[in-house]
């Protein structure tokens, strides 16, 4: 008998390992919903299939012929990353049970590939000073049927458990506005430029040949309340954690996005964020980058 692609776990106490031999970095189950790291290549491919549906079919990214043939969003970083999965076991045991995913690449895992994904778009040399564990996050997406409070809370609780287990001090990565025309996002981009720029000691900068200024309006013309409302939900969530952005936006033609680099110190992820999330009811969207 063939083993199921996504193996159901035995019921267990919420927040405790669920049995078998899972990576202890993340193990949470609430009812039929579970968040954990992918353990097999088949499970990584289930995450890649979800990414394809969201980024290419829903958000109009431009696939290569191979990507379209396989219907998988995959790149050379995937084999070096860890993949967080949100699984709904009520859907059965196949790839369709993966309803959310996030991709992690810690500094300590970059030795073989030699770099982070974000370095295609940003100069991050300031982040690489020192020896603390830092982590790039990205390729975040959730099935449209699951973009609700419970799913996103579970996903972020998984992130919090992971960064605490691995003593990650800083998360960073590209986050996106939909579309490749920055003036359409002049208000929120200008707000990020004036109010959310990272301290110089940590600040990433868009690489010179891709740099797009986020200063698209004068400061006095920026309505902060309206700007915050216009931010993509994931960026808004990072800012609620006290997050910062780098200098400059970058156009990603393949993914049909305008990207910014976001940094978050993880002390708030492991503490205040989970409590704060319990009070949030905003819909969360997808972010393809990193």
pLDDT at 290: 57
In this predicted model, what pLDDT tens digit does every residue of 101-148 receive, in sequence order?
A: 999 999 999 989 999 999 999 999 999 998 999 999 999 999 999 988
Distance, CA of 254 to CA of 61 (rounded, Å)? 6
**pTM, entire model:** 0.86
Per-residue pLDDT averaged across 14-23, rounded? Answer: 44
Query: Is pLDDT above 80 for 276?
Result: no
Yes or no: say if 109 and 251 are a contact pair by the CB < 8 Å rule.
no
Beta strands in the chain (DSSP E): 27-30, 33-37, 82-88, 98-106, 122-123, 133-142, 168-178, 205-206, 244-245, 250-252, 257-265
The mean pLDDT of the chain is 88
Q: Which fold has domain 27-277?
A: Aminopeptidase (3.40.630)
**Domain map (residue ranges) of the chain:** 27-277
Query: Is pLDDT above 80 for 77?
Result: yes
């Amino acid at each position: 008998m063939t083993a199921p692609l996504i193996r159901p776990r035995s019921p267990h106490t919420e927040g405790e390992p669920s049995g078998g031999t899972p990576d202890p970095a993340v193990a949470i189950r609430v009812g039929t919903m579970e968040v954990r790291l992918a353990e097999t290549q088949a499970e990584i491919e289930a995450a890649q299939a979800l990414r394809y549906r969201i980024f290419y079919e829903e958000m109009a990214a431009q696939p290569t012929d191979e990507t379209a043939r396989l219907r998988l969003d995959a790149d050379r970083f995937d084999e070096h990353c860890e993949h967080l999965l949100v699984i709904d076991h009520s859907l059965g045991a196949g790839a369709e049970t993966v309803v959310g995913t996030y991709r992690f690449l810690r500094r300590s895992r970059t030795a073989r590939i030699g770099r982070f994904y974000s370095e295609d778009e940003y100069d991050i040399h300031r982040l690489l000073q020192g020896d603390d564990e830092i982590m790039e996050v990205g390729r975040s997406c959730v099935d449209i049927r699951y973009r609700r409070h419970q799913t996103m809370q579970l996903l972020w609780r998984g992130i919090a458990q992971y960064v605490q287990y691995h003593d990650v001090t800083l998360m960073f990565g590209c986050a996106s506005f939909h579309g490749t025309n920055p003036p359409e996002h002049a208000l929120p981009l200008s707000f990020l430029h004036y109010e959310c720029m990272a301290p110089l000691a940590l600040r990433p900068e868009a690489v010179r040949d891709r740099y797009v200024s986020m200063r698209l309006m004068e400061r006095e013309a920026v309505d902060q309340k309206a700007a915050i409302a216009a931010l993509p939900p994931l960026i808004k969530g990072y800012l609620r954690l006290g997050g910062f952005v780098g200098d400059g936006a970058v156009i990603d033609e393949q993914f049909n996005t305008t990207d910014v680099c976001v940094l978050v110190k993880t002390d708030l992820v492991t503490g205040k964020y989970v409590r704060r999330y319990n009070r949030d009811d905003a819909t969360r969207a997808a972010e393809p980058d990193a």
